[in-house]
């Protein structure tokens, strides 16, 4: 998950600290061209940003909620001058940020959804069970931490978080064990929680680590990742120029499902506009056109070079001239945590 990337992508800003996934495919999906104004909503180590800025005459707005990522980008910001605007904020606030910068509409937006390899590799951030560190997981290093959730949330809330955000079948058993054990010893480290999960979840050496789904679920809950995604989708719809591209890379079925359903709804896929029944409402005009075959996945060469690419899916669409539809209830519902029944868990 770490490396320096391909040499031809490193002209701007020096070596990247990780390999950007599906880089060529993202650039093609964005149709990057001289004079274009783009937004990278998940700057991270700057892999996509550097590649976009390598195209002469481009301008870029880069966002990241992690103060460490913002600090590490200082040399690139100094080098690029007015071509790069770097803002510490959530990508769910991208429309607000674009309006505040007063740079006009965008020609392309890209998002790489999920945790970065740098965050996973820093034990003090508490994202990974591979290292013993504080049970934190906060991308912004502020607000409610993973430790706060496991030590203070109800058994029902914990079970629902694990079941919905982690797709953990044993969510009820895990939640019950967490609530029981925290009475005598609160969970403060990644190792303490991973140890409980290793103890109560049956697993074989060839299985994924028993803590994988729980850690993913807690990270998503701590950072409201699904909520940020739906707000970013609506924001992109608002600020993209006609013909502007939206290219999103996801690594998990939860995020990919949201992007897929958003694009399907906004592109009118499955709607028969000429065959409406009497009294049936006319569908809203489509705000996006899908680009090519969906989704795009990494080829064998990239997955061999970068294991992180194995689960990556890229979906791309182009903005139409139709008015933005905003944060409709159906879109918000895609990120909501339902009150799930514990039956069968």
What are the pLDDT digits (tens) for 136-163?
A: 988 887 889 999 999 999 999 999 999 9
* Local confidence band at 7 (pLDDT 50, 70, 90 cut-offs): very low
DSSP-based three-state secondary structure for 335: coil
In whole angstroms, what is the distance from residue 162 CA to residue 81 CA?
Answer: 44
**Count of beta carbons in the 10 Å neighbourhood of residue 317:** 27
Please give the C-alpha separations between residue 115 and each of 1, 41, 111, 120, 242, in angstroms, as whole numbers: 11, 13, 12, 7, 31
Question: Which pLDDT value is given to residue 231?
Answer: 96
- Domain spans of the chain, in order of start: 7-117+225-333, 140-223
In whole angstroms, what is the distance from residue 178 CA to residue 103 CA?
Answer: 49
Question: Which pLDDT value is given to residue 333?
Answer: 87
At the topology level of CATH, where does 7-117+225-333 sit?
Rossmann fold (3.40.50)
40 has pLDDT over 70:
yes
Class for the domain spanning 140-223: mainly alpha
In whole angstroms, what is the distance from residue 299 CA to residue 22 CA?
Answer: 9
What pTM, to 2 d.p., does this model score? 0.87
| Paired strand residues for 317 | 246, 290
E strand intervals along the chain: 37-40, 59-64, 84-88, 106-112, 240-250, 288-290, 313-319
Token readout for 72 is 């590490």
Q: How far is CA 55 from the centre of its chain?
A: 25
| Paired strand residues for 110 | 40, 247
In whole angstroms, what is the distance from residue 156 CA to residue 179 CA?
Answer: 10
In whole angstroms, what is the distance from residue 175 CA to residue 184 CA?
Answer: 15
Share above pLDDT 90 across residues of the chain, in percent, rounded to a whole number: 70
Q: What percentage of the chain's residues is helix, strand, coil (to nearest 5)?
A: 45, 15, 40
In whole angstroms, what is the distance from residue 257 CA to residue 268 CA?
Answer: 16
* DSSP H helices in 251-299: 253-267
Choice among 122-136, 236-250, 256-270, 272-286 with the minimum mean pLDDT: 272-286
Place of tokens 């200082």: 74
Average pLDDT, stretch 271-276? 59
In whole angstroms, what is the distance from residue 268 CA to residue 273 CA?
Answer: 9
């Amino acid at each position: 998950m770490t490396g320096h990337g391909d040499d031809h992508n490193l002209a701007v800003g020096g070596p990247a600290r990780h390999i950007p996934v599906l880089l060529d495919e993202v650039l093609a999906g964005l149709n990057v061209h001289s004079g274009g104004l783009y937004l990278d909503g998940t700057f991270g180590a700057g892999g996509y940003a550097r590649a976009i800025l390598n195209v002469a005459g481009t301008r870029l707005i880069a966002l990241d909620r992690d103060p460490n990522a913002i600090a590490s980008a200082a040399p690139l910001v100094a080098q690029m001058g007015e071509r790069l605007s770097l803002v510490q904020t959530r990508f769910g606030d991208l429309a607000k940020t674009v309006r505040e910068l007063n740079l006009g509409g965008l020609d392309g937006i890209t998002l790489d959804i999920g945790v970065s390899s740098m965050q996973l590799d820093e034990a003090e951030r508490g994202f990974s069970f591979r290292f013993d560190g504080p049970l934190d997981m906060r991308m912004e290093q502020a607000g409610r931490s993973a430790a706060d959730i496991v030590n203070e949330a109800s058994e029902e809330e914990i079970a629902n978080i694990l079941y919905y955000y982690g797709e953990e079948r044993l969510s009820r058993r895990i939640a019950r064990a967490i609530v029981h054990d925290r009475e005598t010893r609160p969970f403060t480290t990644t190792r303490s929680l991973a140890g409980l999960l290793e103890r109560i979840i049956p697993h074989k050496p060839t299985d994924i680590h028993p803590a994988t789904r729980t850690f993913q679920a807690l990270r998503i809950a701590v950072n409201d990742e699904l909520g940020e995604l739906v707000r970013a989708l609506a924001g992109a719809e608002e600020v993209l120029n006609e013909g502007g591209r939206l290219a999103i890379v996801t690594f998990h079925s939860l995020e990919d499902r949201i992007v897929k359903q958003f694009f399907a709804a906004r592109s009118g896929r499955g709607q028969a506009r000429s065959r409406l029944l009497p009294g049936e409402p006319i569908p809203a005009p489509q705000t996006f056109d899908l680009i090519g075959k969906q989704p795009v996945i990494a080829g064998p060469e990239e997955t061999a070079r970068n294991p992180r690419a194995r689960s990556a899916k890229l979906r791309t669409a182009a903005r139409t001239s139709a008015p933005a539809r905003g944060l409709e209830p159906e879109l918000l519902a895609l990120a909501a945590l339902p009150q799930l029944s514990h039956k069968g868990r």
